[in-house]
Structure 1
């Protein structure tokens, strides 16, 4: 049995050796939640293999169960079987709680418009601060009826009331610079609308690889989307077909912490089960490591990273891979030149304001850092200070700054249990590097 993670403070002990390790990370959160939604909209039973079992996927699966779908969870096998009902939602009313799970909140908000009845969705305090207004506006353009609990017609965030009578369809415009999850939510429910859906994206789209992931998952369930780049999407009414098995790849974002470990500690590390042919955009973090001087190689059973002789700083636009920006922020002070991270303004709207949080914790350990609206400039550091790292209840803060503790004595992580959001076994896997 995995030891319980301390709920208050966890000390990270520096590694005393160079790495020669291999790890396996859990299934992709992004793929798991997309597969859960589409499988529920398909005809018949689909089984997800190597699915993620974490807080985020639990909230999603539990919401589907509360909506009347047959969901069989097998955590010991990392399997989830979903009984899809061809675009229908069994329950005519439900009250759903999604914690701080952004994908669950955005995807379910769109899905609920396909039902026949009244639904209410809420989350935790931070989720009630995170934006959903652009998605609500687009769904209303398609004929849906969504409102704030107090009757306000343009809710900017949860909680949310949905009075559903099926999604009529038609044309909608949506901005793409806040979260690509809004567009993904629209795309996945669009085939179940009564009419053809045409979506126009009015701004530069953030996190494009996540939209590619959505389109690929839709295709796996038998639905193709016509598109003009990332500006216009045309989705005909169609029925998703169930997939006997939906293999979920290891999570590329979770892998980023371990890919970065050799850059800090020397040696090499292989993450099992991943391929550069994956459509998970966060594998582009490997290109950042290569620019810093690391060697990246695909092997028969995974991807290996070898340490650089001297780690170089980089100037990098991470707008398509913002979830790995904290990994780079934790790595950057160990480089021999400055690192500039750009294009991640959307990170301020995540589980916490990740730009402000990363800058605050880097300063706490003695690193010089300059904060910008869309990123940060991080200087090399040779005089680190011991510190208790605040996580702001953000799983990515906890995992990224744990890397610092592999090199710097006296680093502890506050509220380490927050990693249960996406990677409950993170600290066990990290400890296995010794």
Structure 2
């Protein structure tokens, strides 16, 4: 196991950090391209284990994948008529496993979706229920968990018929990825109307899914609590993936903690990524935000002589950034309360309980609530922190070393799940020293 951290800088930060493409957008674009008849080019696709797992899986499913510089060339569609039994290994990638479970519905053959132990512990019951309602047979070792085997419908590309449209009722209070997965295969099975039940978490991700689908020629309509996806053929296209706001948050957090200024190029304020809303949180913390436009990106700065103040904020629309905000909160002058995120206890880690445990190792007082966490900043102390196999905990907790020497993260390599170059990009862009 390798431990790493950032050395405490002697002065305010200044620099530019380049971040990868959005993993969320990349994964949706890969699925749509794999279902399209013809060649699509996807530029700026995220690196990292999750995306590589998905690309490997769509190749097994029959799509052709090649690379040209920073572009993925993907020729679809997958072979839905194949009766070959396949095993698709998603590793630790929750999004990949969910999207592949839905795509398996389209095949004639049996498809087993599996992964590493951390993924096998994450609940998938709602998705499996929806897949069964579409007519597929789903069975596994443990009900509602991976590994799972799907015996699909063996569908051919949709012919535009709408008489086959079916209606599903989906819970909105669990992962929106379950709904996104069904949305993306819906055009291929005659269309689906999805009625959302209860409070919808991460609803912005459903609109992201719709936007990507529309780029590939499929119409999606939102009508109050119903999402209507019509029968259609995906059309191949040239698609550009936005720079990733989740990755950018770590550079912004570093400046919030230390003071100074950072620019993230190619970051667009006008985006489908809900994490762009983090800019308003940064402003509440005491940072200054500038949208520079075009490819110049976004700049965040904080005067190190001005106080970094805590916030009381609902993070339900950008829950992946809860660990990022928690790291900033640990270095603030007043208490922070994060609300609306009880559902993140079933992410790559328990992102409330595990986060609290690691912050407390550094001397921070925390209270885990039913829907969030309360963070009371105290003097930090050196510690070696565990990321619990969670890339977002690793990247966020590493930032505490910018305030207190001797804080390091064990298993530093887990950042490869979404941003393999995290350590190098941050250290080069902000002139930070890495300690091991």
CA contact 1:326–1:358 (8 Å) conserved in 2: yes
CA contact 2:63–2:79 (8 Å) conserved in 1: no
In the TM superposition, what is the alpha-carbon distance from 1:108 to its structure 2 partner?
0.7
1:19 and 2:13 equivalent? yes
Alignment partner, residue 103 of structure 1? 95
CA contact 1:215–1:225 (8 Å) conserved in 2: yes
- State the Cα deviation string for residues 1-47 of structure 1 (Å, max 9, x = none): xxxxxx42114211122112111101111011100000001110101
**3-state SS, counterpart of residue 177 of structure 1:** coil
Alignment partner, residue 171 of structure 1? 167
1:213 and 2:208 equivalent? yes
The TM-score, its normalising length taken from structure 1, stands at: 0.93
- State the Cα deviation string for residues 240-277 of structure 1 (Å, max 9, x = none): 1100x211111110111111111111111111101110
Alignment partner, residue 136 of structure 2? 144
**3-state SS, counterpart of residue 165 of structure 1:** coil
Aligned with residue 431 of structure 1, among 418, 427, 433: 427
Aligned with residue 54 of structure 2, among 39, 42, 60: 60
- State the Cα deviation string for residues 342-388 of structure 1 (Å, max 9, x = none): 1111110100101011100110000111111221111122x211000
Aligned with residue 298 of structure 2, among 299, 303, 307: 303
CA contact 2:3–2:410 (8 Å) conserved in 1: yes
Q: Distance in 2 between matches of 1:340 and 1:294?
A: 18
Aligned with residue 268 of structure 1, among 261, 264, 270: 261
**3-state SS, counterpart of residue 121 of structure 1:** strand
Q: Distance in 1 between matches of 2:154 and 2:173?
A: 28
Alignment partner, residue 3 of structure 1? none
Q: Distance in 2 between matches of 1:18 and 1:59?
A: 39
Q: Distance in 1 between matches of 2:81 and 2:253?
A: 43
Alignment partner, residue 184 of structure 1? 180
Q: Distance in 2 between matches of 1:264 and 1:141?
A: 49
In the TM superposition, what is the alpha-carbon distance from 1:221 to its structure 2 partner?
0.6
1:315 and 2:309 equivalent? no
CA contact 1:12–1:413 (8 Å) conserved in 2: no
In the TM superposition, what is the alpha-carbon distance from 1:286 to its structure 2 partner?
1.1
Aligned with residue 118 of structure 1, among 110, 119, 129: 110
Counting only pairs closer than 5 Å after superposition, residues 76-95 of structure 1 correspond to structure 2 as: 77-85=69-77, 88=80, 90=82, 92-95=84-87
1:232 and 2:229 equivalent? no
Q: Distance in 1 between matches of 2:394 and 2:380?
A: 18
Structure 2 alignment gaps of length 5 or more = 156-163, 432-436
Q: Distance in 2 between matches of 1:319 and 1:87?
A: 38
**3-state SS, counterpart of residue 126 of structure 1:** helix
CA RMSD of superposed structures (Å): 1.5
Q: Distance in 2 between matches of 1:251 and 1:89?
A: 36
Structure 1 alignment gaps of length 5 or more = 1-6
In the TM superposition, what is the alpha-carbon distance from 1:165 to its structure 2 partner?
2.1
Q: Distance in 2 between matches of 1:210 and 1:295?
A: 27
Q: Distance in 1 between matches of 2:78 and 2:424?
A: 40
Distance change >3 Å, CA 429–CA 73, structure 1 → 2 = same
Distance change >3 Å, CA 26–CA 89, structure 1 → 2 = farther
Q: Distance in 1 between matches of 2:349 and 2:29?
A: 26
CA contact 2:387–2:410 (8 Å) conserved in 1: yes
Alignment partner, residue 420 of structure 1? 416
The TM-score, its normalising length taken from structure 2, stands at: 0.93
- List 4+ stretches of structure 1 deviating above 6 A: none
Q: Distance in 2 between matches of 1:303 and 1:91?
A: 49
In the TM superposition, what is the alpha-carbon distance from 1:88 to its structure 2 partner?
3.7
Q: Distance in 2 between matches of 1:393 and 1:353?
A: 10
Alignment partner, residue 128 of structure 1? 120
**3-state SS, counterpart of residue 100 of structure 2:** helix
- State the Cα deviation string for residues 128-164 of structure 1 (Å, max 9, x = none): 111211011112112222111x5x7xx3111011111
**3-state SS, counterpart of residue 395 of structure 2:** helix
Q: Distance in 2 between matches of 1:120 and 1:54?
A: 23
- State the Cα deviation string for residues 46-99 of structure 1 (Å, max 9, x = none): 01111112100111011111112111135xx23211111288465632111111
Aligned residue-pair number: 418
Q: Distance in 2 between matches of 1:222 and 1:348?
A: 36
